[in-house]
């Protein structure tokens, strides 16, 4: 099925004029780097391009057609000269007060793209600088890429109260848009149910550090939050374990599922750095190096004198990381020293998350496998 980029014009392909009406060539200024990175999208990725633009009152006295078309035609020709051709151009001429079914965020001009047999809207995006573009994405069952230069634009035309889940990327840069589309999202949803545990996990390696974690063990939750926060990834995790027996199954199975989620999210591992970190925390020094190279191994040099920290047995720290490496098929080396036991394990989780952040980072210009073996 075909994937579409529905692209706004003013504020997205060209900078928004001060009076919000692009009716003269003297007002036309192309968005920075749009030719470079939209050109790379066209050459390297498999999307059709559809321009979707509201032009208030086009053809009326307030916006005569003879002031619109010279600029529009010049803009289209400029993109064509750079190898960028729009498969369709959709222009709505109505005023906001008309509530026309063809005006963004409504989909009247785009009904052909709602054919689920031909078009994959879940893998399509609306790119624009107004919340009406994001609501259009919502109405199409697509995702929005929000170019944020003025968040107040067209908010009075938005009808949905919460569009945050429809925004896949917020940026002011076409370079960011290209990298986002090129690298694809690394999101995994995992469920695992056994006689001892019931685990639901959602991991986004390219998130922003948000977490929602409930394992039933508060200190364990705190440590897992370090992975999300310092690894700059989003983690939603709900664990129902047999804590009436002990903590073992809950901690072990969580680590297994988390490791397996990393293995799935990394996929073919093209472009990743693969390795990664060392950090101090008060009296403690911790280092972690990780290699997502397909072979599981753990080297652990961290001693704990206390039996419990919070309600988490210290003997389970080693077991957590061992189970993670088994699930992720990763080689992990951890060393830590210090006198404060709480600081020691917290520094280990922080350095572990930092190592992961470095290792899973991708370079869109070097989408090669970081190995001489040909596979990982």
Catalytic residue list: 8, 10
Contacts 24+ apart (CB under 8 A), 130-134: 130/8, 130/11, 130/104, 130/154, 130/155, 131/155, 131/158, 131/163, 132/54, 132/104, 132/105, 132/157, 132/158, 133/8, 133/12, 133/104, 133/105, 134/105, 134/163, 134/166, 134/167
Distance CA 354, CA 356 (A): 5
Number of DSSP helices (H) and strands (E) in the chain, helices first: 8, 16
Please provide the DSSP assignment of 274-342 as one string: -B--EEEETTEEEEEEEE-SS--EEEEE-----SEETTEETHHHHHHHHHHHHHHT-EEEEEEE-S-HH
- Bridging pattern class, strands 297-301 and 331-337: parallel
Structure tokens at 165: 């889940």
């Amino acid at each position: 099925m075909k994937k579409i980029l529905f692209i706004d014009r003013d504020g997205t392909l060209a900078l928004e004029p001060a009076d919000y009406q692009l009716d003269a060539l003297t007002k036309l200024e192309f968005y920075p780097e749009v030719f470079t990175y939209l050109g790379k999208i066209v050459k390297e990725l498999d999307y059709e391009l559809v321009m979707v633009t509201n032009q208030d009152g086009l053809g009326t006295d307030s916006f005569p057609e003879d002031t619109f078309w010279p600029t529009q035609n010049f803009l289209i020709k400029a993109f064509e000269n750079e190898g960028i051709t729009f498969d369709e151009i959709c222009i709505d001429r109505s005023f906001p007060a008309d509530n026309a079914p063809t005006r963004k965020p409504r989909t009247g001009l785009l009904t052909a793209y709602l054919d689920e047999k031909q078009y994959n809207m879940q893998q399509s995006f609306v790119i624009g600088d107004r919340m009406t573009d994001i609501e259009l994405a919502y109405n199409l069952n697509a995702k929005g890429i929000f170019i944020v230069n003025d968040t107040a634009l067209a908010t009075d035309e938005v009808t949905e109260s919460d569009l945050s889940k429809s925004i896949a990327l917020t940026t002011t840069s076409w370079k960011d848009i290209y990298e986002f589309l090129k690298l694809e999202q690394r999101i995994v949803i995992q469920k695992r149910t056994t006689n001892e545990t019931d685990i639901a996990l959602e991991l986004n390696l390219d998130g922003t550090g948000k977490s929602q974690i409930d394992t039933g063990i508060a200190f364990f939750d705190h440590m897992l939050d370090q992975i999300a926060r310092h690894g700059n990834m989003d983690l939603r995790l709900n664990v129902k374990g047999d804590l009436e027996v002990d903590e073992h199954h809950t901690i072990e199975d969580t680590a297994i599922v988390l490791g397996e989620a990393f293995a799935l999210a990394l996929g073919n591992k093209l472009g990743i750095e693969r390795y990664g970190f060392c950090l101090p925390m008060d009296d403690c020094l911790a280092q972690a190096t990780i290699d997502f190279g397909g072979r599981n191994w753990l080297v652990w040099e961290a001693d704990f004198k206390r039996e419990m920290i919070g309600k988490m047995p210290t003997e389970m720290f080693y077991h957590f990381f061992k189970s993670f490496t088994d699930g992720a098929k990763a080689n992990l080396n951890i060393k830590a020293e210090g006198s404060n036991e709480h600081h020691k394990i917290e520094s280990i989780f922080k350095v572990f998350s930092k190592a992961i952040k470095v290792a899973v980072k991708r370079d869109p210009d070097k989408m090669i496998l970081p190995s001489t073996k040909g596979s990982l």
